[in-house]
Structure formats: structure tokens, C-alpha cells
Homo-oligomer: A and B are copies of this chain.
């Protein structure tokens, strides 16, 4: 057998007029009188191949069905008429797995496509999105490592809620009742006292009943915490991370973006510093479009979208009312009504990251818990972090899938993850 070649290599012109063997699946087939046209796909791309009636493999080619797996050997030729500019004049065809009648065709409904996600993942669109996803994961870790952050693995099973319990999944754990984590923040806070700068990329779970294009019940959460830092350090780090990811992807994934027909220039345009606007100024800016918005009300998805369209690129909204932020948010000593909390927002999807300074004073923290109706005794270990060598510290959490929705201009967050879990979807 001739050396196996990935299809993308042939399309790059590596093997023109040479014998090649490719391995993959039949994507399309068209039968002429004396010629069969096949489009073969592998993980890297598509290429057209032709088999002549005179070939001893003509019968094999006739048998081939959509999605059959095969190896195909032939000569790679430049051909302007072929999609991608190359085709293979097939000499031998070996069928590996002859496919039954493939259920996906062009006229299938969105609903049907979701029902057979396990087959739809073979589509070029999903293939490309998943490659970008892998590169984003890699770029994210590269940045954390370059900034001397240590990767840690937080628990999925937790015994207490991080931010109230209404959206927690509970489960029976032997003879106890536990929950699935919504955020690893509190656990990363434990680890900063040992490892200082830490991060994780791990699943988080939210029993979110709302069916929106930006919610999953199971998502991958990029989270980080570190000590001896303030709001300025936090925003600097976040914009540094975001810029690194966008610049890296704009270099590495040009082919994928082009094929997905997504503008890559918006990634290239991401540069530090990001615009930073206080919550107070944000509601001022939104006033003409949302007259009922006043101090103390949270920004809704629509508000975020309006703001984001004004900026047209990633930006920060910070210094939120303490009353709408979680108990662990640090407040200003001279303005206890203001929380050192910051959201990063992007066009189309709004908030993709939430972070802030964490309250490091035990007594204030207990007071904040009580104000929000929480029992300090449920958070003994968390309070211990303030009892023993407390330090000012910050952190944030970013939803990987939301980031991808923005980067790739996805219609729905379910396409940012291979096996989306929503209120209604959990198969396969």
C-alpha cells in the first residue's frame, strides 16, 4: 500500500501527480455512464475522486453507499473543476464498512438532526467547530501556564451550594444527599493558600430550567483564583487571556473560520486594553433604551446585548450593586453598597465571564451571609480560609461554550459542545 496521506495534505498540493492512498468515508456519490464521482472525507477535509468504468474496482465503486468507509488509492491531480482544486484518479478501492442507508440528507429538520447528534457530529460544520474548540482549550491552558498558574482538579460532588441552591442538581451518594458543582470557585480559593495562582477547566452543572440559546445544564468552566491581587490585576489578566486566545486562534484556525464562513477579523481586532465601564455608567448608557433600569436591578440579557453592540468587542462592566451579587463578593469599605464584581461581555451573547475580588474579612463575610439568608455554619471550611492567614484575592469563571458562541458566531450554544445537555436534550 502507498503511504497514507491525509486529504488536507493533498489539497495543500503536497502530492500532485503522485500516487496516494486515502482513508475515510464516502460523503457524496454521483454515478455517470462511464464514470463514478465520489467525494471522500477524512478528519481533515474532502476530496473528489473518479473511477472509470474500465477499472476492475468499478463494481466496488457501484456498491458504495453514503458514509461507507474505505481506502482508496490513485493519482492526485490538480483539477480546477473539482471542489478544492484537486481530485484523485482512483485505481483501487477497498471497502472497509459498507454503510446502510444513511439517515441524514439535506431536507432533514433541525429537530431530527438533534435526535441523531451521534451521526450529525460527522458533518463538516461540527468537525470544524470541534477542532476550534480543542485549539481554544489548548490556547487557554498555554496562557495560564505562561503566567505561572497551576492546573488543579476541583470536585464535582459537593456538599454545600455555592450560590444558593435553586439551580443545583442533587443526587443520592450512598446514604447521603450531595450536589453537583455549579462553580469550583470556593475550592480554588482553598488551593491559593498552597499553590497561589491556580486554574481549572472542568464541567459545571446548572439545573437551569430556562430554555435559551445561552444555557446548558452541563458546561465547561474555565475558572481561576489567585492571591495578593485586586480588581485591576483581575481585569488585566482576563483581557490578557482573552487577547491571547483570540490572537492564537486567529492564526491557527484560519482554514476553519474560512470554511465555516465566519469573520476572523473580529478576533484579530481583540487587543488590550478592553473598555471598562462601571455598572453605574452602564445603566446610564442604557437609560434611553430601557427606562425602568435603575441602580439595584441586574442587567438582563437584552441590556447586555445592547451594551455589547455599542462596544462591538469584548469589554468589562464592573462595580455592581452588592445586593445583587453573591455573599463572597468583596465590597468597598467606603461604599459597602458596591461589590468589586466584574463581568466580561461580548457582542451577541452578553456576559461570558464573571469575577471579582473575594471578601477576605471573616466578620464582613459572615455579615454578608446573614444578609442573604445563608447560615455561616454551613460554610465553616470557607470561613477557615479567612481565619488562618487570609489574603486579598480575586478570581473569575468563564463559560467555554459561551466564548465559542461569540468566536464562531454560533446560532445556538448547543453547537459549541459535542453532546449538549439542556432541559430537553440528553441523548445520545
Q: Give the B-binding residues of A (Cβ under 8 A).
A: 23, 25-26, 42-43, 67-69, 96-97, 99-100, 102, 116, 118-119, 121-123, 126-127, 130-131, 133-134, 137-138, 141, 145, 150-159, 169-174, 176, 178, 180, 187, 190-191, 193-197, 202-203, 205, 207, 209, 217-218, 220, 228, 360, 381-382, 384-392, 417-419, 421, 423, 426-428
Cβ–Cβ contact A131 & B150, under 8 A: yes
With both beta carbons as reference points, the residue of chain B lying nearest to A192 in the complex is identified as: B43
In the complex, A174→B383 CA distance in Å?
A: 33
Q: Which residues of B contact A155 (CB under 8 A)?
A: 218, 418-419, 421, 426
CB distance from A416 to the nearest CB of B (A): 10
CB < 8 Å: which of B116, B176, B196, B389 contacts A426?
Answer: B176
Q: Which residues of chain B are within 8 angstroms of A100 by Cβ–Cβ distance?
A: 387-388
Docked Cα-Cα span, A377 to B418, in Å, equals: 23
The 14 listed contacts between A and B (C-beta, < 8 Å) are A43-B196, A96-B392, A97-B390, A99-B389, A118-B384, A123-B194, A127-B195, A130-B195, A154-B419, A169-B171, A170-B171, A174-B207, A174-B423, A382-B428
Contact A138 B151 (CB under 8 A): yes
Of all chain B residues, the one with the shortest Cβ separation from A391 is B69
A134-B150, A203-B202 known; A389+B195 contact, CB < 8 A: no
Q: Residues of B contacting A197 with CB < 8 Å? A: 43
Instruction: Determine whether the beta carbon of A178 is less than 8 Å from that of B391.
Output: no
Contacts of A193 in B (CB 8 A): 25, 121-122
Known: A96-B390, A131-B195. 20 other contacts (CB 8 A): A43-B194, A69-B389, A97-B390, A99-B388, A99-B389, A102-B388, A116-B381, A118-B190, A118-B384, A119-B384, A130-B152, A133-B152, A134-B150, A138-B145, A152-B418, A154-B418, A155-B421, A156-B203, A174-B207, A381-B427
- A391–B97 CB distance below 8 A: yes
Q: In the complex the two chains form, what is the Cα distance from A81 to B154 in whole Å?
A: 39
In the complex, are the beta carbons of A218 and B156 less than 8 A apart?
Answer: yes
Closest to A176 in B: B426
Supposing A68-B389, A100-B388 touch, asked if A228 and B127 sit within 8 A by C-beta, the answer is no
Query: In the complex, what distance in Å separates the CA atom of A417 from the CA atom of B116?
Result: 36
Complex partner residue of A121 from B23, B169, B194, B218, CB under 8 angstroms: B194
Contact A196-B388, Cβ < 8 Å, known A145-B138, A155-B419, A421-B155: no
